[in-house]
A and B are shown apart, each in its own frame.
Chain A
Amino acid sequence: MGKEIIPAAEKSLNLIRGRLCDPSYVFRPLSASSDSNYSKLKFIVSTSITEGCNNSILLLGPRGSGKAAVLDLVAGDLLEEFPDSVSLIRLNGLLHSDDNCAFKEIARQLCMEHHLLFSKMASLDENSQFIVAMLRECGLAHKTIIFVLDEFDMFAQGKQRLLYSLLDAMQSVTSQAVVIGISSRLDADQLLEKRVRSRFSHRKILFLPPSREEFDGLLEHLLSLPADSSFPNGYVSRFNEKIKNITSDTRFKDILRTLFNANSTVNSLLKFIFRAVSLMNLESGLLSLENFKAALSSMQRQPKLEAVRDCSILELYLLVCMRRLEVKEQSAYNIISVMKEYKTIHDSFQTSDYYAQNVCLRAFEHLRERQVICYTENRGQSQTGEYRPMKLLISASELHQGMRSHACCPAILLKLLDH
């Protein structure tokens, strides 16, 4: 039994991971309803194509909410439906925000689409005249050009010449174009100049995070294996059964809630599932709740906390001393004052951990390397060695939490920290 499952387990792992990396697969169930952003976008663009009128739309939403994925879905569908009457031009605000670059890129893509020769030596004027002429010709031939402007807010810097020329060209009857802007800034259209904003048609599609029911549906869609012959029969049913058990468990719902309280985009959910699936036990070939728990903790790491958790006892003493000095309103302390505090503690509490100066200096170096403490910046004063002021890079609560989850922190330290 053991040897049989393993290849199937690997195959299912690959299948699920492949699904998670394919945006069109992921966004299909979210786009199924007629009220979804996919259908709204498709309706607007397809009516523009069939009626031959110009339009402009903005897709807004936080990063990772699927704007580019849904647009790719719509573009794919439209290229299938209207094979000869649509051409797609893509620009990215990070690459082509300069007008020269942008016009050149549009001209190059138009040349590629229509099998013309593109000359790199063409000037800005020639490129813009070419674009205007192409728009006119395509308008006469009833071919719609779809301009996709990614990172739309980057195009709204400077003189906005590209935006003005595109939107102005769409004001005339002779051209047939659709301009789709994608941006994560909600006020992207407020960044436009008033002339450009007047020509823009103010259609916005907002990409909000999906609801809980949609997320549940999405989970099932991504994680359930298809019942086809490439998998052994009993394995598929066992796998899907296990998934159903996990997703209906309240602890799993708690995990999801913690995840969504920090980041509720589709992208973060996909990352979470990817990590969980990668931790799948290949012996049994089934997922378990522990996988998801481990995935969550790997996603919500707190590096400083882990640094404190790995400190030695001496280093913890030194950190507590620094914290006490801070509490006593001594804003600038250096190694000498920390050592003094350390000695005071040792004297008053008779602790057994007392180390010599050079050992402590090495402990300080360790802490500095791990970036738990650092030297403060001070200009004009060049003090060296032990007189340089230091400061803590972690907050009191982080220190407290780290010490509480430390494997063998002495109780006296916690007491010292508290008052």
Chain B
Amino acid sequence: MAVPEKGVKLLDFWMSPFGQRCRIALAEKEVEYEYKEEDLSKKSDLLLKSNPVHKKIPVLIHDGKSICESLIIVEYIDEVFPGKTNILPSDPYARSHARFWADFVDKKVYDCGSKLFKSKSEALEELNKEFICILKTLETELGEKKYFGDDAFGLVDIAFAPFTSWFYTFEALGLSVEKECPKLAAWGNRIMERESVAKSLHEPTKIYDLFCELRKKFVDA
């Protein structure tokens, strides 16, 4: 029987906010890993074998074993690699609280955000309102804290961080995060001071360019 390959590999796609979560977590823990960019139009055998159920990135492969789904990967990284930072707090209630809000980001932000990207102009106003509501809920949860994890950068910060690169594009769609949720916008700037975040996220203008391209192709066609 083949010996499983040692080490850490991340199957990912440059633009994926879910992949970015994993990159941030790995950077926070200073884990060395091999990054493998997937062509989503032609998925590799390794990806299909590692995530046969969803066939999606990101997938973390650690010593030959695969872990799928970004928030599950981030918790795994926290459990396995000690590092200087704890992604989840130690108090059980605080852990539940963090998981709840990370899950909220999953349930609400991505769905509504990507609907916004794909929608025709008529639907924009309604979606904007819905999205602002979601962002305001997150902003209320953030409150006056430095991070969602209070003094400690943690799971919810990691869950939401990648979406901050989308703010510039939202502005083009008539939704100013700066204006509607100034605390959230400030948090977005604050987290960019962390090396793990700065090196994992893309220039907002790059996201905007891609958005324009996709929109031309699929929405305005």
Do A and B originate from a single complex?
A: no
The chain B residues found within 8 Å of chain A, CB to CB, are none
The chain A residues found within 8 Å of chain B, CB to CB, are none
